[in-house]
Structure formats: structure tokens, C-alpha cells
Structure 1
Amino acid sequence: MAANNNQNKLAFLSMPAPASYVAGLGRGASGFTTRSDIGPAREGPSAEVIAEAQARRGEEPEIDPDQFQDPDNEYGLFAGTSYEADDEEADKIYDQVDQNMDARRRARREAREDEELAKHRAERPKIQQQFADLKRGLSVVTDEEWENIPEVGNLTRKKRKRDERSFVVPDSVIIGDRSKGEYENALDSRQQESGGFETPAESGSLTNFVEMGQARDKILSLKLDQVSGTSTASGLATSVDPKGYLTSLDSVVLKTDAEIGDIKRARMLFDSLVKSNPKHSPGWIAAACLEEHAGRMVAARKIIKQGCEQCPKSEDVWLEAARLHNNDDAKVILANAVQHVGQSVKVWLAAADLEHDIKAKKRVLRKALEHIPNSVRLWKETVNLESSASDARILLARAVEVIPLSVELWLALARLETPEKAKAVLNKARKAVPTSHEIWIAAGRLLEQETYATEQTEDQRKAKLDVVDKTIEAGVRELRRHQVLLTREQWLKEAEKCETEGSLRTCEAIIKATVAMEVEEEDRLETWLSDAESAEARNMVGTARAILAYALRVFPDRKTLWRRAADLEKAHGTKESLNDILERAVHHCPQAEVLWLMWAKEKWVAGDVPASREVLEKAFVANPESEQIWLAAVKLEAENGELEVARQLLVRARSVADTQRIWLKSAVFERQQGQISTALETLQTGLKKYPKFPKLYMVQGQIYQSQKNYPAARASFTAGIKACPKNITLWLLASRLEEADGKSIKARALLDKARLANPGNDQLWAEAVGVEERSGGSSQAKTVLARGLQECPTSGLLWSMAIWAEPRPTRKSRSADALRKSADDPLIICTVARLFWAERKVEKARQWFERAAKMKPDLGDTWAWWWKFEKQHGTAEYQEEVMKRCIAAEPHHGATWQSIAKDMANVGKSTQEILVLVADALH
């Protein structure tokens, strides 16, 4: 019974555990679920079981204050009510509202998230996006380019780690290596008995060291003889040239293992090629070239010989064979070649090139002509070898009989004949080759040369030159009849070619006959003007002149055409041709004032003042009310000392033309002559007629200021500012007047008002900076300059002032900023040139000065800085060049230039004198 009871006590071990059983729960353990329990996992102990276990341990259970709350009513207000149908409907409505609000918020949230994601992708794009365009570009990579992409190597420039493993060396190796350099200084017992070293052949005999030394010298002498190429047995004589030997060492090409391997592989490929296709001549040539590159000339000649045997009809193989052999062997090879390819021009020419004697060359070429009589190249080479013109003429006569369609041979024969016979030759050529335009052009050139070669009257010469026009015109017509339609551009190129070769009349004839081709009627003027400009740009002045001449015949009343033609003659022609153009221009365009003025100025510059007066008188008749012509006449008389005549002209001009500029010039003229009261009266009358003309107020205020009459000057400037508030110069003059009167505060106030009336004007800001600098406030000047740059960030004037306001070390970086902001401003370019000048970089400074002058040639200050620079660092030629270019540009602007040029003390001075004064004033 006891045994059965014990057995029953352990029966629970084989029984399944209860559903809520947790091992060790009575000792405070809690249930948990492992990964293996996922699936049919068991539930943990219930809350009652846990509470009971805690009670046995003496623990008080934690009570959640909200555990008895109604889950549907958090505050328990409706816990006792029943859930009806309207409550369910209300819950559905609330759920629908929650869903709608959630959907609205979701759309906004998703839009915000998309925007943030796009911004993030823009700032930090994926690598895939960065290389998207490059991936798309891979679609155009061909298979051949893909195969040629090199293999990736170690581009990290990091040294690869070497194998640092070490191995234990046996003691026997160490002992053997240690004893390798030791010397034995003791004799063993046998050597002591024999008294010396034993030879391997005979024990007990002594070694003869003398014989060993002689044998060594013998071997060395033989080696030296082999190197030197001599057969001397002593080895003392040598023919090695040290310099030549070193030169030969330099010429030796040492091939690497990779190159040798490539040569071997190529040799195998070419060997397979010539064996599989022995009639393929390029394969033999390539194989021979490979052996030549490898330095095996014997093998190369052997291969090319086989190629000649296999491909006897290939001229390239024979030519390659001749190239690989010396001169005598090459002659034999080419002699064999003509037996197989007797119609090859290249082979015959190569054979002729091998001959060094002129007679031998002629013999070879004439033999070639027997085999190939219709080769133009052979005939040309044969003719070129003839030193006698008569022999060359005979050969060419035969050549054109054999090859009547070769234009080159016909033209060469015509060049060797006399003019009369040349005409006959060209007529025959025209009949033989009716589609060649070169023959017609050659005929025109021949007529032109014949005309100028003989002494004739002007009428006879003109008549013969007209024949040139008719010949070219007939040639164009005949070519069109034979369906030879050269384009207009091709004819213009032929005209330029004639001009290059000195046939200007033929060039003009071609232009007359073809320049109107393929041009719409309404586009003719623009097309011809562009043609003339492009020809002038290529320095083809004759072609441009001919195009403009034809255009003037079609449009004789176009002022722009006459002006363009006059500019062309002024730049590239003579004074006579320019006067002729201007005379014709004013005849066809009498109302064009600029043409009259150009003509009068050219006469005046040439020193012919009466002729200039005569031109202006004719201009008065054609344009009685022209302001420019009246002022030009006044300037002519005033600068030639006829002051009273100039005054009378101004009086008449005020009554006839009566323009504001004439009143201004009248006042300035009287002021220059010292008639201040008359000038002021003229200004008063002019201001009554033209109260909105600012320059009248300027001159009046300057006159009063020069008389120290500051109130009157202030009144003049004030009236001008009220009448013309947008005129910057009036504001500047008024400010400088206050500054001259010692009222800097009022000058600042005026400039502030000016900036309000004219915002964004850099001149006003620059003047404000100048006022602060002159009054001693350098820090305030920098502040004003900074404000000006904020309002006018691209002003070259303000940036230039900012550069010079910086200390010397920081000017370079400041100039870089200025170039980025206003790179095309000539003031900045000139400032950079001055910086290079300060650093003694002469060539760079000269280049930048030239760039600034080209950018705006009307800026006089740039020319003055450049000329000052050349005076210090340049030669006399550079100074003369700058002076000449400045006089041609006739500058009128620039702060320093205008102040000096308009000074009463410098009235009547030339551009050259003004340039010197301005350069001296600059610092």
C-alpha cells in the first residue's frame, strides 16, 4: 500500500499540465511567451490567479483608478442609460465626421510629406539620380567603344599591403652563408706535404697564375675585337667612336616584355591571315611592316617578296617592297612591277623618284607616258622637269591633244603662250570643255593683263575692260546653257581668288555677273551689305568694293550704302577714291547731311580749306535749314581764324535754322572770344525760346561761377534743375558750386535730393563719395560707397572707386568681384590694367588697356591712362601707335577728359594736345 501511494504521488509527472499552469508561479514567477510558443500559444494566468498568488506572498494588489470606468463613456455620465438606435446613428455620424477629417488631414499630411521629401531629394539626391543622365548617355555607346573601355585598375593611389609573413631559415643555410665570405689561411696535411695547392688534374703540381692571367687577357681582347669590328689579335687597337657609340645607344629601341608579346601575337595573326588568304595584299604589307617594326629587316623583305609573288597585280605591294629595299634593289623591283602593273601611275612615279639624274627621270616619265598616255599627273610631272619654256609648250600641246578634257593642261598651255596664241588656246579649250568655268575666268584675266600691259588712252582701256565684263557675263550664260549651275557663294569665292591673284577687274566682272543670283528682291540690300562686310573681314577689299559698287548702281539713293562705301574707302582706299565716292554720294543723296559733312571734313583734313568751304556752300543750297551744316561752317571758320565770319554765320543760323544747339553754340562762341555779356544775353534769349534745354542753364551757371557770382550761378542751376530734374549734369554742377562756395553740407543735401529724383544713378553716388573724401571723412566715404554699390551693383564707376579704396593686398580680390559683377564695363577693364601696371606686369597691362580701348573708344580717360603707361614702359613705336589710334577715335567722354577739353584755356587744341594734358592730370 505504501508503494502504491508513492506511485500515485508521482503520477502527475506524466499528466498534461493545466491550461493556466505557469512553472514557479508560487515563487513569484510570471508567464511569458517565447518564439517557439508562437502559434498555438497558451494564455497566461488570469488576474484572479495572479491576485491569489500575490495575497499568499503578502503583497497588496495595485488598483487602477480607471479600471471600473465605462469604456464607451469615460466619465460615467451615461453609464446607466440604454443604447438605442439614435445613439447608434449618432455614433455612425461621428465616425463619418472623424473619417472625413482624417481624410482631409491625410491629404494635407501627404502633400507636406511629399514636399519635404522632394526638398530633401533636391538637397541630397540619390546616387541613382545623379548618374541618371550618364546612364541615358550610355545608349549611344557603340559596341566597339564598349570593347575599348580599359580594365579597372588600382586608382586609389594606395599602396597595397605586402605579405608580411616570415619564415624560419634553417641553421645550415645561415652557417653556409656565414662561411661563404671567409678565407682559409691554413694548409691541411696533404698540402703541407706537397708544398702548395693541388691542381684538379695532377696532385702535387703547382698552379701557374701567370698563364691564367694571360688567358684572361686573351679572352678580353677577343671580346673587344668583336665589339670594335676589327680583326686585331692583340686587342689593343679599337675603332669604337665614343660619340657615335653613345649616339647609337640612344637610337637603340629597347622593347619591353609586353611589346615583345604583342609582336609575337601579331606575327601569329598575320601568319594565319596570309596563309588563309594569300591573295590579300594588305595582309602581306602589314606582316612586313610588323617585322620592320620588330627590327627584322631580312624577314620583312622575305615576306614582302612572297607578297609580290602572290599578289603581282597589287601596286601597293610593289611600292612597299621598293620602300623596304635599298635604292638599287628598289629599281629592280619596280622594273619587275611595271611588267605586271604597267598602268599604275604610282609605280612609274616611284620609279622616277628613285632616279637622281634629271635625264634619267625624264626617260622614266616618257616611258611611263608611252604606257599611260591619258594620265594628267604624269604629263604635269614631265612638264615640270622641263627647264625650257618651248619644250614645255611642245609637251603641253601634245598633252591637250591626248587629254582634251583636262582643264589644268589647257590653262598651263595658255600661260606659256603669247597673248594672241593664248586666246586661241582658250577658245579651243572652251570648245573642248564647255562646262568649265575656270576657262572663262582665265580668258577674262588674260584680257585684263593684256589691257594693262600696253600703253593706251583712258577710253581705250575702259573699252577693253568692258570686254572683260562681257566675257564673264557670256561665260555665266554659256555655263547655264550647259546645265552648269554654280552657286552664288562659289562665284564669290572665285572672285576672291581672282583678287588674291591680282586680277581686280576680273573679280569685279564676276561680281557684276553673279552677285544678284539667288537673292530675293526685298532681301537684296541686306544680303549685299552682309556680303561686303564678310569680304572686308577676310581682307578682300576689292571684292567688298565691287559688291558695294554694284549695290549702289541698283540703289543709288540709299544713304547707308554710300556711307558704307565711304567708310570702306576711308579705311582701305586713297584720298582720291574717297573724294570720288563722297562726290557721287552727295549727288545722289543731296539731303544726306552726314555725307556733306564727311566730304567737307576730308577736304579740311587734307588742308584744302577753300574746297571745304565750297562743299559747305553746296550743302547750304541743298539743306538750307540744316543745323549740322551751319555748325560745321561755323567751326571751319572759327578754327581757321575767321572769327567775324563765324559770328555772322551764327547770326544767320539763328534766324534761318533757329535750333537750341545753334543758340548754345552761339553763346559758347561768344564766351570763348571773351564776350561774356553778349554770351549772357544770348543765353537769356535762348532760355526764353527753349526753357527745357539743360545745356543753356549749364553754360549760364558756369559763366557766373567763373565770375565768382555764386548767387547768380546758384539761381541758374536751380532753375535748370526745376526745368530738367532728370538731367544728372545739372545736379552735379550745382553740388560742385556749393562745394566751391565752402558749403559741403548743402552739397550733400543737393545730392540726396538728386538721388531721390533719379534713383539708381551711379554718377550721383560717385559724386557723393567724392564730396565725403574732399571734406575729410574717409570712413563716411566708404559707407556712402557701400550704399551706392548696394543700389547700383553693376556700376563700373563705383566698383572702380571701391577697388582703389581697398588696401593694396586686397585690391586683386576686389577686382575679381568687380569683373564678376560688371565684366563688360571699360572702367573696370582699365582699372585692372592699372593694377597690372602697379605690379610691373607690362604685357598683361598693355593687353587690358587695349581691350578697354576697343570696348569703348569714345572714353578719353582710357586712352590717357594707356598713353601714360606707354610713356613709362613702352617704346616710341607703342607710344606713336596709341597716339594715332586715339586721334582716329576722337574721344569726347571721360571725367578728366571732359573737364580739360572744355576748359576755356584749352579751346582750339587738338586731340593730341588734349591727350597729353589729360595724361599729365591723371595720378
Structure 2
Amino acid sequence: MANKTNKLAFLSMPAPASYVAGLGRGASGFTTRSDIGPAREGPSAEVVAEAQAKRGEEAEFDPEQFQDPDNEVGLFAGTAYEADDEEADKIYDQVDNNMDARRRARREAREASELAKHRAERPKIQQQFADLKRGLSAVSDAEWENIPEVGNLTRRKRKREDRTFVVPDSILVGDRQKNEYENSLDSRQQEGGGFETPAENGTLTNFVEIGQARDKILSLKLDQISGTSSVSGTATSIDPKGYLTDLNSVIHKTEAEIGDIKRARMLFDSLVKSNPKHAPGWIAAACVEEHAGRMVAARKLIKAGCEQCPKSEDVWLEAARLHNTQDAKIILANAVQHVGQSVKVWLKAASLESDIKSKKRVLRKSLEQIPNSVRLWKETVNLESNPVDARIILARAVEVIPLSVELWLGLARLETPERAKAVLNKARKAIPTSHEIWIAAGRLVEQEAGAEGKDEATWAKELAQVDKTIELGVKELRKHQVMLTREQWLKEAERCESEGSPRVCEAIIKATLGMEVEEEDRLDTWVGDAKSAEEAGKVGTARGILAYTLRVFPDRKSIWQKAAELEKIHGTRESMLAVLSRAVHHCPQAEVLWLMSAKEQWLAGDVSGARKTLEEAFVANPESEQIWLAAVKLEAENGELEVARELLSRARKVADTERIWMKAAVFERQQGQITTALSLLDTALTKYPKFAKLYMIKGQIHQAKTDYTAARAAYTAGVKACPKEVTLWVLASRLEEADGKSIKARALLDKSRLVNPKNDILWAEAVGVEERSGGSAQAKTLLSRGLQECPTSGLLWSMSIWAEPRATRKTRGVDALRKVPHDPEVICTVARLFWAERKIEKAREWFGRSIAAEPPDQLPGRDHGDTWAWWLRFEREHGTPEHQQEVINGCIVAEPHHGTVWPTVAKDVKNFGKKTKEILELVANSLE
């Protein structure tokens, strides 16, 4: 014991100063808070300075102690900025300004002299040519025109000489032998046969015998599998035809599925044992066994469930499902003993019967048990093929269940009109809160009014009764606190239209459209309702809403125009003319309504009626420019040229507008009276010098006569008077191009872009000039600059797509659609890309999208004539005559006026008087 004490005595002794625990085993030394004592604050700055002074040490130099006082982070960091400090700063600033002013004049004079000396040595380019520019003012127009053209020498490379090399004979021989083949066998192949190869031991292998042996072995294996011996001809019980079908019906379950089934079986077994009166547990347990393929076990379980839960209809229905038809009938017969009030059980029992008579017997038995079930009565009536028997059953049904709207309406449909009225009256008294009964009464009145053999007065009187019936129904419903919303009533109106009762639809709208709408919001709300109904395909509802709106606002031109457009698209020409005749009566000052009426009469072939309409329009609007021009067009289109000329002469005196003068000049030009047309233009230009179209027509007349000097003078005067008119700049540029002066055309377009920035038409024309003059690289550069300035221009994006190589056009098209997704020109270009790739259906779909596109702040796609022409060319190549006619009809209805090629063809003098169809054909033929 003493020895042990002495050995462990070192534990109570203090450790040596250099002792580190575990150092002999590779540990490293460390210190803890217990080794160095508690944490404490270090000496302050004052204590450190005092100790340094005692030791004779100098204090450390602080480099920031003399910091800029303006920053206030050094010596004066803790002081406040007072009024005297601000005054001192002002005095110092004043002194600095005075010192700077003393030398300012001298310094500025020195800088001016140095700049003048520098300019004298190196003058600006504009100063070098200032005298030449001043001299240009003395150059006459004739001298300016005689300046020779300068060729385009930009970005041209010398053509490299083609270098040729002599091809070696070895390459020629090798290429010649590349496609040769042997048609004979060598000696070794002739000895052993054509399909034999030498084996490793020198013998030849015959592949024909190997193939025959393989086929024989395969046939033996197939005979063994099918149980048929090719020798004996016997066969087993396997059905060779249904063998694969039976294999498909076998369900192979994985180990995971088997484990899940076992686990579910155990859980549901515990559930039905712990709570045997829980019907869903029995149903779930039976379904698990059914899924596992154990139908016997599933039927046993569901049978036990029926015994444990006899009052649950779901258990009985599941039991009937799991058994065959005969057993299911027995099960449901037992079910009605326990759940005789279950409608589902009786319906299931009726569905198990195969003949109609048995079904009727089951359903009538069910009605004895559940006489207040509407569904059972409906199923019973549906089985009756004789209307008399069905009427008897429904009569009994409404006696038993007087609050069922469906049964009352069904009985009314089977009765004669007179007796149906009595039935509906009884139904209205029994159920005063049903709006369906009132709507059915209105439909019955409409049906009686539509009977044959009635004069127009009687018919109109009976139709007016429909409005009274619906209006009375709305009032009665309000008395009984039945308040349907506007949206609900509009849905009922749309349903009546779908079921063939347009008069009831209109009556509902009349009685309910003004509900829940503020007086100041009525117009916008009703117009929105009509638009929504039209988009949903409910034209009758939209027509009724607009008709009611026009009764409230008969003097609104826009509503009459919407009603006329609705009839034009969805109605007949007679209905449209009827709307327009009422419209001009209520809005005699609306020129557009008179013009629409006259145009429709003209298109219908009633020229005299159109003349009469325009005469009435003259009376209401004697100084209307549009009506005068419409009358002139009507007479000119029908060959009455002298009458049209006389009308234009009178119009210039009565209306005297710039457009009438322009139309007079155009008319004389179309008739070949060029001198008269120029005289009219000169007179008009003195009156209206700011009307750009007069300059355009004058220039075009001179250009057609190849009098380029006079045409140039007209365009020059035009761009000076109307610098913002883009078309004038384009025509002037094309004149120079036609005269062979591409440089001047380019200069004109550059100047036009300075006057009219961010205009895509001018950029497109500039690109076209470069392409036609052969500068494709310069055209690409201009196109890029144009897209930078006009990033939302569909015209420039379309040109950029075609400027790309074929491989990258689709990518460029995607970029264009991402930038301008609703632009008709871009969509048409994408359709043409699909056309080039022979994707016919996609191309047709995208052409339709381009026509239907309606971009914001731009013209709709249907107004682009070039798009219609491209679509027609596509259908000519890949479509049927029906497709082509559909495009032509759509173009005639749309009447386009804009595009790149369309206006040029339509306004050509040679095409005067041609219809939209003929212009479409010409444009389609001229497209490249």
C-alpha cells in the first residue's frame, strides 16, 4: 500500500514550469482562462504616456493629429460648427475669389490667343470650305442638274485571280476504281461455293447449311412450345389465337406491390374488427382483395359488411358491383328490405334489368316506397315512349311533388298550348319564386305567335305579349324577394337564344338590362355587354342589347354604327339596310351613316335607291365633302361621267375643300384630260399650298410624261411646303432613282430622315435604294441603324428577316415576334417562312393570324392588302378552290387600303374602276 502511495505522490505535487500535458504522446500545448487568470482592461492612454515619460521614452507621433480641419475628424472632431466658424469660412472664400479675379483677365486673354494661334495653324473643315459653301448660292438649277454622277467606290474589293493546279494521275485512277465492283469469283471461291469462307484449319464453312440448321431447330422449339408435333399432327389445349391475349390479361405484381397489399390487408382487417359498424372500412377491405385478384375473398368481406352495416347504401351497392348480374339482383332485393328509402339502390336495381317492362316495374315499386323523389319520377317518365302515358305520370308527379320546377315544365311541354298555359299558371301559383316558369310561359307565347296563318298585325301583337309576360314575371319575382343579378338574367337570355327563342331573349334584355347600373355608366356597360355576347357567339343577345341601348340613346351615332356592323357581319343586307334607315332618321347629321346606307344599296344593285339616299343626305348636309365625293364616285362607277364632272364642279363651288379639288384633278387625269387636271392642280395649289397630295399628283403626272424636270420641281415645292409628309420624300427619291441618279435619291432620303426622325418608311426606302443600286452591305448597315432608331417597326423587322441567310431566318423571326408580337407584317413574314419550308397547315394558320392581328396604335391586319395577296398566292399553290374563294371573300369584306404594293396598284390610273377582287388578283400577280 505504501509503494502505491509513493508512486502516485506526484499527482498532488505542482507541475514544472515547462510541463505540457500529453506532450510525450504528440499533443501540442495550449492555455485556458484558468491558466492566465480573469480578463481585465489594459492600461489607458494616459497611464501609458506617464510610464513612457518616467522611462524617458518619447511619445509616438500621431500622423492624423494635424489633419484637415474641414473634415472635422482630427483635432476639431468633437467641436461644434458655430456662427463664427461659418463667418471665418466666408472670409477665406472671399479672399480666394479676389485672388482668382486678379489674374482672371490675364489668364483668359492668354488662353484666347493660344486658341486663335492653334486655329490659324489647324482650321476646322467647315472653315476651309466656307467660301465654297457661300459660292453655292449662285449655282442655278440647270447647273445643279448637270452635275455628273459619282460612282459608288465604297467597300469594293479587287477580284482575285483564280489559281488552278494540275491533279495527279494517282488521284484520278483512285477515283475511277472507287465505284468498281467484281462480278466474278476467284479460284478458291469457285472450289468451295460462292457463300463459303476459309476456316482457320483450312476447311471451308458453308453458311447456307448453317442457316437451314438454325431454321430447323427454331421450328422444333416452336412445336414444343405450342404442343403440336409436326410428325403426329396432334395438338394440346392451348388456344393459339387467344394465347397472346390471355398473356396480356395476366397482371404481374412486383414485390413492393405485394408488400403494400399485405400491409393494407392487415390494416383493414384490424379496422373492421375494431369497428365492425364502419361501412367504408368494409368497402376498402373488399377493394384491396379485388385489386389483389382474390374475388372470392372480396365477396366474402363485402357480404360480412352487408351483415354488419345493413343500413348503409354504399355497402349494398359495392356488393352488387362485385357480383354478377343475377347475384346482384338478389343482393339489391335484400337491400331494399333494409334501405328502402335509398334512391341509388332502386336506380341500380332498375339498371340491372334487361328489358323496359322490368325496369318500369322496378321504378314504379320504388315510387311506392319513395314518392317524393324527383329523380325517380324523371327516370320513370323517360322510359315511357307514349306521350299520353308520360303525361299521366307527370300529372301524378306534380300532385305528389308540387315544388319541383322540372316536373311542372316537363308536363307543360307534353300538353297542348291551351292546357300548357293552365299547367304553367298552376306551377306559378305553387312555386311563385321560380323564374324558369315565367321564361317557359314567354316561350309558349312566342311559340303560339310563330304559328302559320296569321297576319302581320296579329303576329306583332302576340309578340308584344312576350314582352309583357317577361316584364310581369320580373315584377312578381321582385315581390317575392327573388332578385336575380344582371349577369344571371343575361345568361338566361343567351340560353333562350340557344334553345331557339330569340323573342324571349330580347324580352329578358328589355326587362332586366337596366338593373344595377348607374345612370352615367349605362352606355359603356351596355356596349361592353353587347361586345361580350358577340364574342361568345350569341348574336341575338348582342342584337337585343344594342336595340335596347338605341331606344335609350337614339342620337348616338357610334351605337347605330355598331348595330349596322353587327348586321353586316352576322345578319343580312336587308336587316342592315333596315338598321341604317332608322339610323339616318335619328342621326341626320351623321355623314358616315348616310354613306353606309348608300353603299349597301349600291352593292345590292339598287343604284336609284343609292342616288335617292344621297339626295336626302344632301338635304341634311348640304356642305358635306364626303357626301359630294360619294355622289361623284357613284356616278363615275356607273358610267355617268358628265354627271360626275358636273357634280365635281358644283362641289368646288359649294363645299370648296382641298380634297374636292384633289378628286376633281384625279377624275380628269383618269379620263385622260391631263391639261385640265394640271390646271385644276395649279388653281388648287394657290388656294391650299399646304396640301401635300396636290404636289404628289402633279409630280406623278409629269413623271408619267417623262418630264423629270417639271416633276422634280413639283416634288421640291412639295417638300418645302410640307416637310413632314413622308410620302412626298419617297416619291421625290424614286423620281431621282428613275432618272438614274441614285446618289441624289440617297441624299434626299438622308435629308428627309433629319426632318422626320424615327420614321420606319423612310428607313425602309433608304434600304431599298441601296439594294437596288447594288450596295447590299450598305443596305444591311442602314437596316441595322433603322432598327436601332425604330425598334418596334414591323416593316423593318420583316426586311431584316429576309436579309438574313436562309439558315438564320427562323431565329431572326423569333426575335421579331418577341419584339413586336402583334404586328401583321411580321406575322405574315413568319407565315411565308413556313411556306418556304413546306409546312402548309402552319403557314395557313399564321396567315390567318396576320389577318386577325390588331396591334395597339397601328392598323389592323385585315387592312393590309399585301397580306391578303400573299395568302392568295399561297392558296393558289397549295390550297383548294374553296380556300382561295374564302381568302377572296374575306378581302372583299375587309376592303384593305394599305400596304407596300397594294396602294400603288389600287391608285394606278389603268386600274380605275376595278373592284377589290380584281385589285387583289393584280397585287398577287405582282408580288415577288
Verify same fold: TM over 0.5: yes
Contact 1:393 1:416 in 2 (8 A): yes
Give the equivalent residue in structure 1 for 2:676: 678
Q: Which has the higher mean CA deviation after the structures are superposed, 381-390 or 808-817? A: 808-817
Q: Partner amino acid for 2:66?
A: Y
The structure-2 alpha-carbon separation of the partners of 1:357 and 1:811, relative to structure 1 and needing over 3 Å to count, comes to closer
Q: What whole-Å deviation, never above 9, does each CA across 1:187-235 have from its counterpart, x for those lacking one? A: xxxxxxxxxxxxxxxxxxxxxxxxxxxxxxxxxxxx999x99xxxxx99
Matches within 5 A, 1:503-522: 503-522=501-520
Q: Distance in 2 between matches of 1:790 and 1:404?
A: 76
Query: 1:901 is matched with which residue?
Result: 906
Contact preservation (8 Å) 2:792, 2:820: yes
RMSD: 3.0
- Structure 2 vs 1, CA of residues 374 and 588 (structure 1 numbering), >3 Å: closer, same or farther? same
Amino acid at match of 2:648: L
The CA distance in 2 between the partners of 1:92 and 1:258, in whole Å, is 79
Superimposed CA distance per residue, residues 41-80 of structure 1 (whole angstroms, 9 cap, x where no aligned partner): 9xxxxxxxxxxxxxxxxxxxxxxxxxxxxxx9xxxxxxxx
Partners of 2:67 and 2:74 within 8 A in 1? no
Instruction: Please give the residue correspondences for 1:701-720 in structure 2 after superposition, counting only pairs within 5 Å.
Output: 701-720=699-718
Aligned with residue 292 of structure 2, among 275, 291, 294: 294
Question: Pick from 276, 279, 286: which aligns with 1:278?
Answer: 276
Q: Closer, same or farther in 2 for the Cα pair 1:438/1:873, shift >3 Å?
A: same
Q: Distance in 1 between matches of 2:309 and 2:809?
A: 76
- CA 1:102–1:738 in 2, change beyond 3 Å: closer, same or farther? farther
Aligned to 2:822: 824
Q: CA separation of 1:648/1:251 partners in 2, compared to 1, >3 Å: closer, same or farther? A: same
**Once superposed, which parts of structure 1, at least 4 consecutive aligned residues long, lie more than 6 Å away?**
34-41, 87-92, 95-99, 102-105, 234-237
Aligned partner of 1:134 in structure 2 is none
- Higher deviation after alignment, 851-860 or 662-671: 851-860
Q: 1:788 to 1:384 in 2, by over 3 A?
A: closer
Note if contact 1:224-1:235 (Cα within 8 Å) is conserved in structure 2: no
- Of residues 309-318 and 816-825 in structure 1, the stretch that sits farther from structure 2 once superposed is 816-825
Corresponding residue number in structure 1 for 2:301: 303
Partners of 1:770 and 1:95 in 2: CA distance? 69
Matches within 5 A, 1:86-97: 94=66
Opposite residue 913 of structure 1, the aligned amino acid is E
Distance, in Å, in 2 between the alignment partners of 1:739 and 1:224 is 88
Aligned to 1:846: 844
Conserved in 1, the CA contact under 8 Å of 2:794 and 2:826? yes
Task: Quote the Cα distance in structure 2 between the aligned partners of 1:641 and 1:437.
Answer: 61
Cα deviation for residue 40 of structure 1 reads: 15
State the Cα distance separating 1:679 from its structure 2 match: 1.0
- How big is each residue's C-alpha offset from its partner over 1:217-254, in whole Å with a ceiling of 9 and x where there is no partner? xxxxxx999x99xxxxx997744322223312211111
- 2:358 aligns with 360
Question: Per the alignment, do residues 550 and 404 of structure 1 end up closer, same or farther by CA in structure 2, a change over 3 Å counting?
Answer: same
Q: Which residue of 1 aligns with 2:867?
A: 862
Contact 2:65–2:75 at 8 Å: present in 1 too?
A: no
CA distance in 2, matches of 1:377, 1:241: 48
Q: Alpha-carbon deviations, 1:157-188, whole Å to 9, x = none?
A: xxxxxxxxxxxxxxxxxxxxxxxxxxxxxxxx
Shift of residue 818 of structure 1? 3.1
Whole-Å Cα distance in 2 between the matches of residues 617 and 359 of structure 1?
Answer: 76
Would the aligned equivalents of 1:604 and 1:612 in 2 still touch at CA under 8 Å? yes
Moved more, 352-361 or 597-606: 352-361
Give the aligned partner of residue 13 of structure 1: none
| TM-score, L = length of structure 1 | 0.75
Distance 2:890 2:916 in 1: 11
Q: Distance in 1 between matches of 2:644 and 2:317?
A: 87
Name the counterpart of 2:883. Answer: 878
Can you list the C-alpha shifts for 1:370-415, whole angstroms capped at 9, x where unaligned? 1111111111111111121111111111111111111111111111
**Which residue number corresponds to residue 739 of structure 1?**
737
Q: Which amino acid aligns with 1:898?
A: P
- Greater alpha carbon shift after TM alignment, 477-486 vs 740-749: 740-749
2:795 alignment counterpart? 797
1:350 to 1:609, Cα distance in 2 relative to 1, 3 A: same
2: CA distance, partners of 1:270 / 1:815: 62
String of CA shifts for 1:726-759, please: whole Å, max 9, x gaps.
1111111111122222222222221221111112
Gap change, CA 1:512 and 1:99, over 3 Å in 2? closer
CA distance in 1, matches of 2:714, 2:662: 15
Distance between the aligned counterparts of 1:388 and 1:796, measured in 2? Answer: 67
Q: Distance in 1 between matches of 2:700 and 2:235?
A: 103
Task: Work out whether residues 535 and 541 of structure 1, in 8 Å CA contact, stay in contact via their aligned partners in 2.
Answer: yes
Change (3 A) 1:808 1:325: closer
**In 2 relative to 1, CA 358–789 (structure 1 residues): closer, same or farther, beyond 3 Å?**
closer
- Aligned-pair identity in percent equals 73
TM-fit CA distance, 1:508: 1.2
1:579 to partner: Cα distance: 1.0
Tell me how far 1:790 sits from its aligned partner: 3.3
- One-letter identity of the residue aligned with 1:275: K
1:786 to 777, 784, 787: 784
Following the alignment from structure 2 to structure 1, what is the Cα–Cα distance between the partners of residues 75 and 693?
74
How many angstroms apart in 1 are the aligned matches of 2:877 and 2:477?
64
| TM-superposition CA deviations, 1:804-852 (whole Å, max 9, x none) | 3333333333333333333333222222222222222222222222222
Contact 2:69 2:75 in 1 (8 A): no
Letter in 1 for 2:894: A
Indicate the residue corresponding to 1:588 in structure 2.
Answer: 586
Q: CA deviation at 1:97?
A: 6.3
- Within the candidate set 359, 368, 371, 1:370 is matched to 368
Taking structure 2 as the reference length, what is the TM-score of the superposition?
Answer: 0.75
Return closer, same or farther for 1:776/1:337 CA change in 2, 3 Å cut-off: closer
Conserved in 1, the CA contact under 8 Å of 2:530 and 2:543? yes
Distance 1:97 1:608 in 2: 99
1:317 maps to which residue? Answer: 315
Distance 1:240 1:530, change over 3 A: same
On the 8 A contact 2:67/2:73 being kept in 1, the answer is no
Aligned counterparts, 1:295-694, within 5 A: 295-694=293-692
Q: CA deviation at 1:332?
A: 1.4
- Match of 1:533, as an amino acid? K
Equivalent pairs, count: 727
* 2:758–2:790 contact (8 Å) kept in structure 1: yes
- Identify if the C-alpha distance between structure 1 residues 354 and 38 changes in structure 2 by more than 3 Å, giving closer, same or farther: closer
Structure 2: unaligned runs, 5 residues or longer: 1-27, 36-48, 50-55, 78-223, 854-860
Distance 1:656 1:612 in 2: 21
Please give the secondary structure, in 2, of the residue aligned with 1:94.
coil
Give 1 or 2 for the bigger CA radius of gyration.
1
Compared CA separation, residues 37 and 577, structure 1 to 2 (3 A) = closer
Aligned 8 A contact 1:447 1:468 in 2: yes
* Distance apart, 1:645 and its partner CA: 0.6
- d(CA) in 2 for partners of 1:92, 1:618: 99
